[in-house]
Structure 1
Amino acid sequence: MKPIRWIKKNTNINFLGLKKISIFFSFLLCICSIFSIFIFSLNYGIDFKGGTLIEIKSTSKIEISDIRSRLYGIGFEDAQIQTFGSDDTILIRIENDNVINGEADLNASKIIAKELGNLFLIQRTEIVGPKVSSELIQKGVLAIITAVSLMLFYIWIRFEWQFSLGAVLALIHDVIITIGLFSLFGIEFNLSIIAALLTIIGYSMNDTVVVYDRIRENLRKYKQMDLFELINNSINDTLSRTTLTSVTTLLALFSLYFLGGEVIRGFTLAMIIGVFIGTYSSIFVASQIIFFLGIKRDWSKN
């Protein structure tokens, strides 16, 4: 049975010919993302900020103004209130520095539950202390750095240092832009987003390795072919596989985003952004870098 190809086998798109445009576009996106992170910061969730989160549900539409007035009456003037998926469910967020009559977050959640529990169903309560939230931030950053470092080492061993550098720069490119978009649009950044970023790193690396493997294979097969043409041919050879994988993954992710509920929506959105950016970077970023750095032509002994 022949593999599915929705792009013609002899497709010859000049990807490297677009290097000036793609490099400028990627550089612009990364700079804008970094500026966005510094200017707007990240909308940290309870996991990283610390505090109390309470989800309440009703059989009918909940009026946020009514909840706000009730919380105001018991001293929680700064509580953040928002709908969660549908109009009959809301989230209440209390930051760590918001205390009532000397009561800490644990007692604050009890006070709110007592005030609202008779009128609404308390679906869940999450409490994260400042020490725990600080540790979670450190562990999240460490997890991303460790993943990228291991990827760098793996590619270095399997290919050459030029491939390794190209792959890692593409990964950093993907992570920066994804985080920048979360910052720009104020989307909540929590532990599930860290999990999504780690998944994006793996997905993007997989796409990049497929292209790199074909480049290495063609280096062995066509020893006299110009490197520019060889890399272009390699990208075109794997284009059908790369785009088909991305499209099928996106179909599943969009289904989860619209049908999976509010709890996993942030994770799914990060994955959707990551798949788009990862597919782009494996074609336009990683390959451009190894062409710029240059690679050895004789792979017969490897």
Structure 2
Amino acid sequence: MGKFSRYGNALYGGQRSIDFVGRRGLWYSITAVAVLASLAVIFIKGMNFGVEFTGGTQVRASMPAAQVTQDNADAVREAIVDEDIEGVDSPTVTTEGTSAIVVEVGEVSDAASDRIGEVIQETVPETTDLSQTEIGASWGREVAQQALTGVAVFLVLVMLFIWGYFREWKMSIAAMVALFHDIIITVGIYALSGFPVTPSAVTGLLAILGFSLYDTVVVFDKIRENTHELRKSGETYAEAANLAVNQTLVRSINTGIVALIPIGAILYVSAVQLGASSLQDLALAQFVGMAVGIYSSVLLAPRVLVHLKGRESAIQLADKRARSRAKANADRYATVPVFAEDMPVQDESDPEFEDGAEEEIRVTRASAPPRAPEASGRGRVVPPAKGEVRQSGASGRVQPTRQTRSKRGPK
């Protein structure tokens, strides 16, 4: 753990750096493949909408708490499938706390609904009460419309918030790209799992959007801090943004792990031990969305932001200045002039070229004018004497003589 902490400190201080922003082709390729694969799953396999969205019949069988187990729920599901009831293809059987087992199917006739109740009683004889609820398709469409409206309002508010906080519309665009990426991949994996789409799944989708946005805002805030004064820092915009990603990397990983561990535990318990339940719908959407959100906030959103900002003339000028400064610091002799044909050379009639001496071309360079003689040990130029200068016996050195006032000339 100490080694990981030291590595994180090195990333934050800039002693170590992982080139996240510079690998544009890699991250764009991974993102494009993941998004296209998710869209293919969504359109080819389709979503398994629950009865809340499509309408159908819900049969609730009350029984003693000792009988409300996952084994009995699985037995009821197998019995209904084996019965081959008309209109019942893939029933959803879940436990409702410790009081009942709930069977959900599509729209079926009254006879088929009654037969489902009989199968439940035959499978679990301790059933005390049966109740049936018809869910209309119009109510399901209303739920779906409200869910889409909620997502649209959320995205609009996110754009306004980021634009108002950072005063930068390009950051809003980059954040939206990351959010759409998270939504599409989460929905694609959800469709691939075959889990029914319920209101719990929609709730989980909205929750993971908030998590992804929070992580993206943290990274963008660090980018804004690092790129506030590019002229003084001597870095390009991409280098400053990459440093910000490295500085927030450990925080993003730690936050993601802390969030994924409990959600993963809920998903395992609800899917494996409790069987199909509303908890697994919520947990799957949150688990996938949070994992994808870490990727988008660290790798995708900063890369899109750098891509958009790189088109600004001010950023291009600052980047050019920073690259020139870096080149000069790396090679101090890069600015030394090289030999050219039109440079002045020493005359070949110089005696140095006579008597078969080796021919040598000397490049003459402009130099500063000769300096005046300096006072010994003083580091400054000796001012010219105003009068006669001669040896002084008293001081033991050369000094200007002083004439009487009558012999001095006019001032």
Q: Same fold (TM over 0.5)?
A: yes
How far apart are the structure 1 equivalents of 2:130 and 2:226? 57
Matches within 5 A, 1:229-244: 229-244=239-254
Residue 305 of structure 2, aligned match among 279, 282, 290: 290
Structure 1 residues 123, 231: closer, same or farther in 2, change over 3 A?
Answer: farther
Aligned-pair CA distance for 1:65: 4.4
Q: Does 1:196 align with 2:204?
A: yes
- Counterpart residue number, 2:386: none
Contact 2:200–2:278 (8 Å) recurs in 1: no
How far apart are the structure 2 equivalents of 1:59 and 1:206? 40
Structure 1 residues 55, 235: closer, same or farther in 2, change over 3 A?
Answer: farther
Three-state SS of the structure 1 residue aligned to 2:103 is strand
Mean Cα displacement is larger for which, 159-168 or 250-259? 250-259
How far apart are the structure 2 equivalents of 1:25 and 1:18? 11
Aligned-pair CA distance for 1:36: 1.2
Structure 1 residues 153, 59: closer, same or farther in 2, change over 3 A?
Answer: closer
Alignment gaps of 5+ in structure 2: 12-16, 316-411
Aligned-pair CA distance for 1:126: 5.5
How far apart are the structure 1 equivalents of 2:23 and 2:138? 48
- Counterpart residue number, 2:106: 95
- Residue identity over aligned pairs, in percent, reads 25
Per-residue CA deviations over 1:159-192 (Å, capped at 9, x if unaligned) read: 2010000001100010001001111222211111
Residue 294 of structure 2, aligned match among 279, 290, 293: 279
Q: Does 1:130 align with 2:137?
A: yes
Mean Cα displacement is larger for which, 254-263 or 147-156? 254-263
Contact 1:71–1:112 (8 Å) recurs in 2: no
Q: How many residues align?
A: 284
State TM-score, norm by structure 2: 0.62
- Counterpart residue number, 1:140: 147
Q: Does 1:173 align with 2:181?
A: yes
* Structure of greater relative contact order (alpha carbons < 8 Å, 6+ residues apart): 1
State TM-score, norm by structure 1: 0.83
Contact 1:79–1:93 (8 Å) recurs in 2: no
Contact 1:19–1:284 (8 Å) recurs in 2: no
Higher helix share: 1
Give the number of the structure whose alpha-carbon radius of gyration is greater: 2
- Counterpart residue number, 1:105: none
- Counterpart residue number, 1:269: 284
Paired residue type of 1:209: V
How far apart are the structure 2 equivalents of 1:124 and 1:214? 57
How far apart are the structure 2 equivalents of 1:33 and 1:258? 23
Per-residue CA deviations over 1:137-157 (Å, capped at 9, x if unaligned) read: 111111111111110111111
- Counterpart residue number, 2:374: none
- Counterpart residue number, 1:205: 213
- Counterpart residue number, 1:16: 21
Q: Does 1:50 align with 2:55?
A: yes
How far apart are the structure 1 equivalents of 2:240 and 2:220? 11
Paired residue type of 2:227: L
Per-residue CA deviations over 1:62-109 (Å, capped at 9, x if unaligned) read: 43443445673xxx4525335648xx996533212x2236xxxxxx75
How far apart are the structure 2 equivalents of 1:124 and 1:21? 56
CA RMSD of aligned residues (A): 3.0
- Counterpart residue number, 1:66: 79
How far apart are the structure 2 equivalents of 1:6 and 1:99? 67
Three-state SS of the structure 1 residue aligned to 2:8 is coil
